[in-house]
Structure 1
Amino acid sequence: MKIAEARVIVTCPDRNFVTLKIVTDEGVYGVGDATLNGRELAVAAYLTEHVVPQLTGRDPARIEDIWQYLYKGAYWRRGPVTMTAIAAVDTALWDIKGKVAGLPVYQLLGGRSRDGVTVYGHANADSIESVLSEIADYVKLGYRAVRVQTGIPGLESTYGVSKDRMFYEPADAAVPTENVWSTAHYLDHVPRVFARVREEFGPTLQLLHDVHHRLTPIEAARLGKSLEPYHLTWMEDPVPAELQEGFRLIRQHTTTPIAVGEVFSSIWDCQQLITEQLIDYIRTTVVHAGGITHLRRIFDLANLYHVRSGSHGATDLSPVCMAAALHLDLSIPNFGLQEYMRHTETTDAVFPHGYRFEGGYLHPGEEPGLGIDIDEDLAARYPYRAASLPVNRLQDGTMHSW
């Protein structure tokens, strides 16, 4: 069996996705997600111009060799564009391998380590009272874990809070919109949010919160300390992770667990954080961290240091990535949580899939391969639409992490 062709499919069924479809000379095909939010066409071009021409004629069963070829052979290694492109190839090849074997991919990864994948939903609203209602809706649906975000009094808009409660999409304009940020307002508000949530829902519901890189280490330490009475499962992305030593300072001052990594693209981005036990959950993803092959390496390293998985799973990852993530989540011993933001009906129609939500868990399905496909005819009805992520400024106009 040889790779006969590979096609890059760009579509926008309510938001932009890039998908790689690899087809063998025996007609077996696999799909991989190549979506990089706000930079989708950069990955599409990288695949089309540099990767696809190198795949034709290769043996699709040699997943590790092809991964090393695309990584080491490029010379300009790592980075989100390169690693997202490699991930698309790797994921599609695992899909093919499962179909050839007649087994779901999780069986090829060692079989089940659990019966289902615990996922968390996003409760977001402009006020505390409104977010309590959103949390209650998730609890009724059977969710055991909920991420809580609210608007901040005194600020016009806040990342993580949307007008559409079910399908949050931050890439909201062709030219980036601008948010205005105040750390003082934020640090004052967030502990009051979680005090009310615990009062309303008791001690057992798993609660999470995304800081989204907006604090300094000592500010994050202060936030973590103030949230300790409310026993969060994690405080996500408290600071920009370029300076990984900053996490040491946070650790010195709070026992609130820390999650980070959705913007990481390789094991080297998180090696220090894991081996020095500066985090509790690693949130790297199949699509942005080099595919199933490389993400499993990250999780294996994390397992040695009591760090659990908590993979990113927002709507800027296509159902192809979600399907791949579930197979990996089901198989690894150190699974923690999986983010799950539901896609729209239009997106689900373009990407028919076998995974399902039931009783607070996602189940990947038993179809051979990943159990996911793309309807190319339907995808062609939804052309690419330019959409950028917003930017963030302080009240005095200074650019700030968001």
Structure 2
Amino acid sequence: MKITDVKIIVCSPGRNFVTVKIFTDEGLTGIGDATLNGREKAVVAYLEDHLVPLLIGKDPSRIEDIWQYLYKGAYWRRGPVTMAAIAGIDTALWDIKAKAANMPLYQLFGGASRDKLLCYVHAQGSEISEAVEAVGKRMDEGYKAIRAQVGIPGLPAVYGTDKSSTNTAALNALPNEEVWSTSKYLRHVPNLFSALRETHGWDVELLHDTHHRLTPIEAARLGKDLEPYRLFWLEDTVAAEHQEGFRLIRKHTVTPLAVGEVFNTVWDARLLIEEQLIDYIRMTTVHAGGVTSLRRIMDLAGIYNVRTGCHGAMDMSPACFATNMQLGLWAPNFGIQEYTEYTPETLEVFSHNWSISDGYLHPGEAIGHGVDIDEELAKKYPYEPAYLPVNRLEDGTLWHW
């Protein structure tokens, strides 16, 4: 079997997505997600100008060799653009290999380690009463784990609470600027979880995302303040570059910690995993260099009792989400899968086979990873210039969003 063509498909059925589609001389095709939210065209150029010409004529079954060739052969390694581009190719190759074997992707890894995948969804409110009500609605829908976010008194709508930012603000032609105050946030957030436990009890798993906005000592303080409410995890407490900062956090709190959605290689997570400074690694297929790379990271994490919690935001395509689930069904150290749902337009463009029931996901039994793209329908949703928001402190200092 040989690779005969590679298409890079860019569409925006609710969000911008970059899809790699690989064709072979035996008629098998595979797709992979190469989306880098807010920098999509940088990945497109890297693929079209630098990687696609290297693939024509290669044997698609030699996935490991192709991955090494694209990673080591560039000399300039790592980084979000490079790894998203490699991920799109790698995922498409695994899709082809599973189709050639006539089995779901998870079977190629060694089969399922579980029957279903626990997932968590989001609930938020501009104030505590609204967030408490939103969590209750999610519980009524059958979800067992819920990420709760709340607005901060004295601030405009912030990450995780502005309903417009979930769907449309990230699609503005220029970045939306948000305002942040760490002191106001630290004073207020424990009140949310106190109200949630008082109202909804202890049978629901609660999660919370800080989105990299704290210093290590601030994160330690928050983790300690939240200990009475037994969170499933506290996510992205400090800037992801500062791995050593987790040592300080770990000394002061037993609240479980999760991080990794912006990590691109095992080197971004090695210290955190080997020193057991985190409990969940949130790396995702598209940003971690594909299936080949993420499987290694999952195996390393398992040695140190770190479980998986793949990032599952709607700015990664259904091809990534389905692949995450295929890996999750296999991974012995699976923890939980984020589930943010997609727009109807997205699910029309990307056919899928996964199912959700009573707070659990399953990727389905279709061969490959179970997702395909309708190229003609995708043409109806052209790329839209887009940025993620940026964040400033109340005095105007640019801060972590």
Distance 1:301 1:329 in 2: 15
Quote the offset at 1:218 in angstroms: 0.4
**Are 2:42 and 1:42 equivalent residues in the alignment?**
yes
Q: Deviations over 1:274-299 (max 9, x none)?
A: 00011000000000001011001001
Partner of 1:75: 75
What is residue 177 of structure 2 aligned with on the other side?
178
Q: Is 2:17 the partner of 1:17?
A: yes
Give the Cα separation in 2 of the matches to 1:241 and 1:378.
Answer: 37
- Assess if the C-alpha contact under 8 Å between 2:14 and 2:167 holds in 1: no
> Which residue does the alignment assign to 1:198?
197
Instruction: Go from structure 1 to structure 2 and tell me whether the alpha carbon gap of 1:31 and 1:137 turns closer, same or farther (over 3 Å shift).
Output: same
Report runs of 4+ in structure 1 exceeding 4 Å deviation. Answer: 167-170
1:232 counterpart = 2:231: yes
1:297 matched residue in structure 2? 296
Distance 1:199 1:110 in 2: 43
Given the alignment of the two structures, is residue 116 of structure 1 paired with residue 116 of structure 2, yes or no? yes
DSSP 3-state at the match of 1:204: coil
- Within a 5 Å distance, the mapping from 1:1-400 to structure 2 comes to 1-163=1-163, 168=167, 171-400=170-399
- Structure 1: distance between partners of 2:191 and 2:206: 14
State the Cα distance separating 1:241 from its structure 2 match.
2.2
Q: Give the match's secondary structure for 2:361.
A: strand
SS in 2 for 1:223: helix
CA drift at 1:172: 3.6
Aligned amino acid, residue 215 of structure 2:
T
Question: How far 1:170 moved relative to its partner?
Answer: 5.5
Contact kept, 8 Å, 1:172 with 1:390, in 2: the verdict is no
CA contact (8 A) 2:169 2:176 kept: no
Q: Which amino acid in 1 is paired with 2:102?
A: G
Asked if structure 2 preserves the Cα contact closer than 8 Å seen for 1:225 and 1:256, the reply is: yes
Alpha-carbon distance between aligned partners in 1 of 2:12 and 2:3, rounded to the nearest angstrom: 27
Return closer, same or farther for 1:365/1:169 CA change in 2, 3 Å cut-off: farther
Number of equivalent positions: 401
Question: In the aligned structure 1, how far is the partner of 2:78 from the partner of 2:134?
Answer: 39
Distance 2:162 2:134 in 1: 12
Contact 1:162 1:168 in 2 (8 A): no
Give the distance between the partners of 1:38 and 1:56, measured in 2 at CA.
Answer: 29
> How far apart are residue 204 of structure 1 and its match?
2.2
Which AA in structure 2 matches 1:378? Answer: L
Identity %: 61
Letter in 2 for 1:280: D
Q: Is the 8 A contact 2:156 2:179 kept in 1?
A: yes
Q: Any idea what SS the aligned residue of 1:239 has?
A: coil
User: 1:256-284, CA deviations, whole angstroms, 9 ceiling, x for partnerless residues?
Assistant: 01100000000000000000011000000
Report the 3-state secondary structure (helix = DSSP H, G, I; strand = E; otherwise coil) of the residue aligned with 2:348: helix
User: CA-atom RMSD, angstroms?
Assistant: 1.0
Aligned equivalents of 1:238, 1:170: Cα separation in 2: 23
Q: Name the CA distance, whole Å, in 1 between partners of 2:259 and 2:227.
A: 18
Cα distance between partner residues in 2 of 1:256 and 1:201: 20
Q: Distance in 1 between matches of 2:240 and 2:23?
A: 38
Once the two structures are superposed, residues 207-259 of structure 1 have per-residue CA deviations (whole angstroms, 9 ceiling, x without a partner) of 10000011100000000000000000110000012121110000111100110
Q: CA deviation at 1:24?
A: 0.3
| Kept in 2: contact 1:86–1:291 (CA 8 A) | yes
Structure 1 residue 157, shift from structure 2 partner: 2.0
Deviations 1:334-355 (A, max 9, x none): 0001101100100000001001
Measure the CA separation in 2 of the matches of 1:188 and 1:172.
Answer: 31
CA distance in structure 2 between the partners assigned to 1:169 and 1:348 by the alignment: 17
Deviation at 1:174?
1.3
Instruction: Return the alpha-carbon distance in structure 2 between the equivalents of residues 243 and 188 of structure 1.
Output: 24
| SS of the residue 1:30 aligns to | strand
Residue 171 of structure 1 aligns to a residue whose secondary structure is helix
**Partner amino acid, structure 2, of 1:275:** E
- Quick check: 155-164 or 267-276, which moved more? 155-164
Instruction: Please report how far the alpha carbon of residue 120 of structure 1 lies from its aligned counterpart in structure 2 after TM superposition.
Output: 0.3
Task: Give the match's secondary structure for 1:57.
Answer: coil
After TM superposition, the score normalised by the length of structure 2 is 0.99
* 5+ long unaligned stretches in structure 2: none
Question: How far is 1:169 from its partner?
Answer: 5.6
CA contact (8 A) 1:159 1:170 kept: no
Q: Is the 8 A contact 1:119 1:337 kept in 2?
A: yes
Residue 168 of structure 1 deviates from its aligned partner by 4.2
Following the alignment from structure 1 to structure 2, what is the Cα–Cα distance between the partners of residues 346 and 113? 33
The alpha-carbon distance between structure 1 residues 384 and 95, as it changes in their structure 2 partners (threshold 3 A), is same
Alpha carbons 2:87, 2:290 under 8 Å: kept: yes
Quote how far apart the aligned CAs of 1:389 are: 0.7
Following superposition, the deviation at residue 133 of structure 1 comes to 1.7
8 Å CA contact 2:257, 2:280 repeated in 1: yes
The answer to whether the Cα contact below 8 Å between 1:310 and 1:339 also exists between their aligned partners in 2 is yes
Letter in 2 for 1:276: E
